Amino acid sequence: MRLKGKNIILGITGSIAAYKAAMLLRLFIKEGAEVQVVITPAGKEFITPVTLSALSNKPVISEFFGANDGTWNSHVDLGLWADVMVIAPATASTMGKMANGIADNMLITTYLSAKCPVMVAPAMDLDMFAHPSTQRNISILKEYGNIIVEPGEGELASGLTGKGRMEEPEKILEAVIQQLGVKKNC
Ligand SMILES: Cc1cc2nc3c(=O)[nH]c(=O)nc-3n(C[C@H](O)[C@H](O)[C@H](O)COP(=O)(O)O)c2cc1C
């Protein structure tokens, strides 16, 4: 239970690697963490909120507003609650928005409100990853102090081989535990 007492925001975006986020979520829970999933609208095309809420024992947050009844989700409260925010998988689009403050969904507003360390695990095809735009955005995120969990090299979902596959959930878990060991609180 190496994450007992820790609050984690798990951000999930619209990548084919989103299925791995379910395994990462399971690992966080098994280690004793409380996890709030925040998923982009595109992310929900790749993995269902039902799976994620069942694994986390919490409703998944995705939209700003509730069911037209005046309720809303508070990214500010979430940003203050977390000990660490982990965005896995992180698409090229989401990293571009993070780098430029384009706060058009719950995940980005939560990111901008987060006082805690933010860890980002990119996932995409090799050419998207190698593009100067993606690389520049990653550099900007590093400048902001975000921690990039570098993608691995190997066979990609597209069938191509190269760098871009999201790091394995077990390795992301270890990186999170190490990070929380360094910085105890936000
Ligand atoms: C089948 C499929 C797989 C995709 N996989 C990725 C991916 O691994 N990485 C990525 O950056 N974009 C990927 N995309 C594109 C994103 O889904 C798209 O850019 C989306 O707008 C991302 O939105 P989000 O970052 O808000 O979740 C994929 C699209 C499709 C149709």
The structural domain count of the chain equals: 1
pLDDT in the model for residue 182: 59
Check whether 153 has a pLDDT greater than 70: yes
**Ligand 1 center to residue 14 CA distance, Å?**
4
Q: Which of 10, 16, 125 to mutate for ligand 1's pocket (most ligand atoms within 8 Å of CB)?
A: 16
122 lines ligand 1 (CB under 6 A): no
Distance 144 CA to ligand 1 centre (A): 23
β partners of residue 119: 86, 147
- The region of weakest confidence among 41-50, 83-92, 160-169 is 160-169
Does the beta carbon of 37 lie inside 6 Å of ligand 1?
Answer: no
CATH number at residue 68: 3.40.50.1950
Would residue 34 count as lying in a domain?
Answer: yes
Contacts for 155 with CB less than 8 Å, ≥ 6 apart: 161, 165
**Residue 148, domain extent:** 7-180
Instruction: Kindly state the average pLDDT of the residues 21-48.
Output: 98
Mean pLDDT of the chain: 93
- The CB of 140 under 6 Å from ligand 1? The reply is no
Phi-psi region of 145 (alpha: psi -120 to 50; beta: other; left: phi over 0): left
Query: What backbone torsions phi and psi does residue 153 show, to the nearest 5 degrees?
Result: -105, 145
Tens-digit pLDDT profile for residues 116-149: 999 999 999 999 999 999 999 999 999 999 999 9
| Any domain includes 28 | yes
Q: What is the pLDDT of residue 154?
A: 87
> Counting atoms of ligand 1 from 1, which one is nearest the CA of 14?
27
Is residue 129 included in any domain, yes or no?
A: yes
pLDDT above 50 (res 186): no
Rounded to the nearest whole angstrom, what is the distance from the C-alpha of residue 4 to the centroid of ligand 1?
33
DSSP collapsed to 3 states, 104-138: CCHHHHHHHHCCCCEEEEECCCHHHHHCHHHHHHH
Q: Tell whether 2 is covered by a domain.
A: no
Q: Quick check: is 185 in a domain?
A: no
Distance 138 CA to ligand 1 centre (A): 17
User: Is residue 186 in a domain?
Assistant: no
Q: Which protein residue's CA is at the shortest distance from atom 2 of ligand 1?
A: 16
Tell me: cis bond preceding 132? Omega within 30 of 0 counts.
Answer: no
pLDDT of residue 114: 94
